[in-house]
Structure 1
């Protein structure tokens, strides 16, 4: 709760106060709170709050003729508060028959203000009581609000704390209380852990000592009727689409189950040449498979990116050449031919920007027009 000191009657308020001594009615209209820093200003000259934030409806007013004062009570809740707001100034307003609504009294708590919690943090309300000097005024009233008191409630793990007339101090007390409880609970848990560790360590040490001293049995009489051997092949574990690799980690040429590959591109053989464009190789590709069948009278060769250096893919068997070879890709070294010919491994290293694969017959004879060559990747 903000620590407000004595309220000062403003110059406008003093003028209305003087009129009240002559019989003028005083009608209080509202309270108002704000966040203004008064600094060294003279509040008697204020016409309004420095930084007004919220209007506070008046709930009750009780004039006291003996004390020549009126006790005014107002209340506000946080239903329209959208963010945490610092409140350190308060004012009471009244109607002057000649001036209209004026700031009657003002007070500033400076650094001892309070924070309004937003509605997102739960419902809260703040009640204010102002004792205003009215002198000998015969008729003092207020424009009363029809709002009822709204008490703020905070939920905790032990029950509900009802806060009225401000919340900061009560919230702090509630939080401090729960923090103390939590600290005690944590300490208790830590003690339990320490105790369990000590016990566990003692048990293990005792067991080892028993083993060392021969107290635990060292022989057993258990027997097994049968032992099942572990599978020696991948198929024994249910893996049916694996491929073999060589000592360098490359897939062997003869290993290419079609279920492991994704189609990249195809080309139809025209005359003695088939050119497959592979410019769209996905970055995740690590192996390329060239596959197809062509009628040939000689040996088939492959050229990458239109180079003049050819690599023999396979020899003709009768009048047919079965094309099945794999290009292994490496992020650093580029693309390599892997076809079981060790002499080719050292002389064929291509740049990683592979764009085309060209298949030709060494004897420049027909490859079988209409046949297709396909490229796959994985």
Structure 2
């Protein structure tokens, strides 16, 4: 029985050469396709394009087109079943619809509604999540519950109240609001004030007994805090609602207010550190928290301030542990708290003297 001769080296080289040529042709075709898509433009009035001429390439890779949709359209162009004229028409319609829907899909922000488009611009959701929302395959509720989104819309929780041993049964812990603890002499007035200011500056004052979040005005009206603290807490709340630039009338952030000397630096550092410890710096214009890199970009934070907060000195440790008498950062004090098993709110245990 004759054996087949092994393939000659020449045959192998020929196959390799054909493969190389095929890959080269495919590469040339991809480069030609990219050039065509970059040179072909269409006028787009929706979104951030403002009526300018935009290349099909830019539209395909814009925030309005998901990865899956982009691959589907490119696949059709590569298979020559979709002409560039038709691609231009489809992309124009797609972007127009995505812009309209993304501005109507609303989330609950700290003080006002936030559009899905804004969350995308802030790096809180990605293009695919926006596409899912626009197409209805994901609901606002589902996206809100995503951990990566929830921290920027709701925060991760502040120091809500205190736990103290019960007078009648010291083995049991009694829940108190921070204001109650101050009036009962369990917390010093200064300690209580900075904790309440941190609550106001991170979103809302908290009624830990009723598990409610309230604005400063609401909290004073219902007696959660006394009217003697009203002005100081309103000032801290501006870290959420925004400070007014006296020169331009614009709404500006806590950090920007510090830069313009509208707020004392030590006070501002304390509130800023509390925001970061509870989920991120608050953008008062858009009414939600921001990832650090976006805060840098919007001028709500800088490297110098980041360094101050990353390497805290006694000057920037603005919070007092009533048990150990240490000066701490908000994050350090928050880590000493215990979460309530029913509400998830954080309580600081304070032992009576």
Q: TM-score, normalised by structure 2?
A: 0.22
- Which structure is larger by alpha-carbon Rg, 1 or 2? 1
**Structure with higher strand content:** 1
